Chain A
Amino acid sequence: MRTPASSRVAVVDDEENIRETVAFALRREGYDVETFSDGQSALEAFKRGLPDVVVLDILLPGMDGLELCRALRQISEQLPIIFLTSRDDEIDRVVGLELGADDYLCKPFSMRELVARIRVLLRRAALLRTSAPSPDEKILRVGDLRLDLDRYQAFWKQTPVALTVTEFMMLRALAQRPGVVKTRQHLMTEGYPDDTYVSERTIDSHMKRLRKKFAAVDSQFDAIETVYGAGYRFVEKRSSTVS
């Protein structure tokens, strides 16, 4: 599971202390780190050469993180982007389907968590580049849902659904034990294994977004059920048309 040491990570944040600390920690993990304090300079650098993953703060002076993300998507559809947000109301805009964020973390985040996410995104990107399925491919099928556990890809009735890593991990936790209620606490540790500072309300917004993303593919989607006072569960409903 070691990431190639040559992977290049770009950190864009206007907070010098965060930028320096994150860069230091990532360098210790063996990544090649570039730091930028504003969106404009980052974009100019990316035009010369793309990094392997971008860690992007949303609020930046001048061109903000969302604009930069859009500009980057013009250059590359595949480039993994992980957002750092400090406002709850930004999350919805970040994770909105059209923006194509791969994942995000809320400030204050755990450095270990960030490292783990970057690792996942790099592996996913690597697997997506090699389109040939590996022989020991790990696939989870529950009803109409298919999860490619290595590539962090989700399919509903054969249609791919673009999920962030966090969303994927929570959905995997639900789908591994269909019909069993998972508490918010449980989903939290599944989604953020290294971070204990996520509020339970965050889980609800994750579930809301998951449903929204699946509903965009299938308006009849109702496999994620809210169990009031307890948590959420995945309900297996095999449609008659799909084998």
Chain B
Amino acid sequence: MSEAGAQRSSPGVLKEPACGPDSPIVRGTAGGRWGRVWDWLRRASARISIRLLAFNMLLVFLPAAGLLYLDTFERQLLIEQERSMVQQGRLLAAALSSGAALDQAAATLVLERLDMRLDARIRIVDRDRNVLADSSLLGPSRRGGEEASGEELSARRYWSYRLGALLYRAYVRLFHSRPESPEPADLYVSATRAAGPEVQAALDGRYGATTRISGGGQRSVNLYSAIPIRSGGQVIGAVLVSQSTFRILQSLYEVRIDIFRVFLVSVAAAAMLSLLLSTTIAHPLKRLRSQAGAILDRRGRLTGHFKGSRRSDEIGDLARALEELTRRLEERMRLVEAFAADVSHEFRNPLAAIRTAVEVLQEVEDPGERRRFVAIVEREVARLEHLLADAREVARIDAGLHEEPPQPVALNALLEDIVSGYRLRLGDRCEFEVSAPREPVLVRSSPERLTQALENLLDNGVSFSPPRGKIRVTMAVDRRTTTIAVSDQGPGIPEQHMSRIFERFFTCRPDADRSAGDHTGLGLSIARSIIEAYGGSIRAANNAGGGATFTIELPLSH
């Protein structure tokens, strides 16, 4: 038994060198067959479906590993059986040694007395190896002796047993040298002679034990134990206890077959489960991947988008997030393209004026006329410069407002500063009226950007304001937000333009104002971009008593 254990442990030792080329150090450089196999394995195991299958199979193989543990269990059972046999033999030997002589009658008598309580076959042998008594010949009730060789394991009828046996034999052939088969049990064919070496050992005064395979090609074996019978220091015979392991083996086989069946069902279940998981995880992921591949064409243009998904799981979430991402990207690209088109459009009018004016200048001699056209060229050049600066500003705000770290800004102080600057610059042109809270009103933003947004609103108010008109700036605070309203006494916003005044390049100014080149139609849209970047909002409305009011709402910093 211990020998078999030693053999079983050997495969691990044998396999060790085979793992060598797999080690990371060798893998990188050596390449070769193992390198390729490793690469293939790595690629294969990188696929989610394969991994799912592997994990599921791992779970299934855990009970299968239990099959192997059963061998240890079997060994222990057999040792127990042998021990009990030896026990029985000793008792018997002790009983027989009390008598002076060992004869057939005494031996038979002892056996008959014991028969009902023994589950092994017991033979009593004299010094000349003649069988004096045999428990199997005593009666019809022969329990637990050697089984008839013709009897089949009932389990063999099952296909699962045959499949299992096939796999087991393959396993044994691969990893074990063939176990030494015990000698067949034909030593005891004769009912009157006991010729086995264990009997000889017992007669020599030692304990003798042998395992012999049963006839009929079964895996069940018979255990033979021979115990010497001593009388007065002399060995006068031996008790030969033999028992088939058939019963133990049969129940173990049944357990094995049950486990094997569970294993087969589990393999099928694992395969199904992997397939299911693969269709619910790997397949939709693959679809997302193919969609991702189709989104940009070879020139890097956005041509497609993610299709989204109605699935309610995480992959559905991912698909929807990607759809939203591409949708916003498309929107963004559309805006950028529209902005580029708008910019080129806005540049063309001043360019057209400059070009025609220059052409006219070439043909006109009158100094008064020439001054007029030179002035046109100058105004339009100034307008182009203004446009260029504003367009750059828009691009900068679009690209990197978030690059300037927002900091707490005391909005009321900032507002006072800005308005004092306007008062200084404009003098009597406009009157400013500011009402703001005394205590600091803090918002998180970049002070420069916020100044720019407020100035754009004030510039807008000033430009529409009549001479000496009043511009009223009102600041109010509630729990979470602050609002700043800039109100002018200008003509107000025509209702049909109300929805468009924050659009880039949209203007609805008197003609003369536009030709002066100070207004690009970008001021309000820049203000909106800035305010929205800091989580605020901006809106416009006409006052009941005339003029327009622009209202900024910004979240307070806490």
Contacts and interface: CB of A to CB of B under 8 A. Distances in A.
Nearest to A18: B353
A84 B369 CA distance: 25
Interface string B497-516: 00000000000100110110
A61 B508 contact: yes
B7 interface: no
A107 B349 contact: yes
The number of chain B residues touching the other chain, given as a range, is 20 to 34
Contacts of A114: 356
Contacts of B373: 21, 24
Contacts of B297: none
A21 B363 CA distance: 12
A17 interface: yes
B385 interface: no
B477 interface: no
B484 to A, nearest CB: 30
A112 B353 contact: no
Q: Which 7 A-B pairs have the closest CB atoms?
A: A86-B348, A108-B352, A107-B352, A17-B353, A108-B351, A107-B348, A111-B359
A194 B356 CA distance: 13
B359 A108 contact: no
Nearest to B509: A61
Contacts of B512: 16
Given A21-B357, A37-B511, 13 more contacts: A15-B352, A16-B511, A18-B352, A20-B376, A21-B356, A24-B360, A28-B360, A86-B345, A88-B341, A89-B341, A107-B348, A108-B352, A108-B356
B363 A28 contact: yes
A142 interface: no
B354 interface: yes
A12 to B, nearest CB: 13
Interface of B: 341, 344-345, 348-357, 359-360, 363-364, 369, 373, 376, 379-380, 508, 511-512, 514-515
Most buried by A among B363, B380, B512, B515: B515
A109 B345 contact: no
A109 B351 CA distance: 9
Nearest to A112: B359
B351 A111 contact: no
Interface in A1-48: 14-18, 20-22, 24-25, 28, 37
A87 B514 CA distance: 19
Contacts of B514: 14-16
Contacts of A84: 352
Pick from A15, A17, A37 the residue with the most CB of B within 10 Å: A17
Interface residues of A, number: 26
A25 B356 contact: yes
Interface of A: 14-18, 20-22, 24-25, 28, 37, 61, 84, 86-89, 106-112, 114
Contacts of A14: 511, 514
Contacts of A18: 349, 352-353, 356
Contacts of A37: 511
Contact of B355 (A15, A20, A87, A109): A109
A86 B349 contact: yes
23 contacts: A14-B514, A15-B349, A17-B350, A17-B380, A17-B515, A18-B353, A21-B356, A21-B357, A25-B360, A28-B360, A28-B363, A28-B364, A37-B511, A86-B345, A87-B344, A89-B341, A107-B349, A107-B352, A108-B354, A108-B356, A109-B355, A109-B356, A111-B355
A207 to B, nearest CB: 22
B506 to A, nearest CB: 11
Given A21-B360, A24-B360, A110-B359, A15 B348 contact: no
Contacts of A110: 355-356, 359
Contact of A17 (B348, B357, B364): B357
A3 B369 CA distance: 25
A11 to B, nearest CB: 11
Given A15-B515, A87-B341, A87-B345, A21 B353 contact: yes
A106 B353 CA distance: 12
B360 A108 contact: no
Interface centre among B353, B379, B514 (most CB of A within 10 A): B353
A160 B331 CA distance: 44
Nearest to B351: A108
Nearest to B369: A24
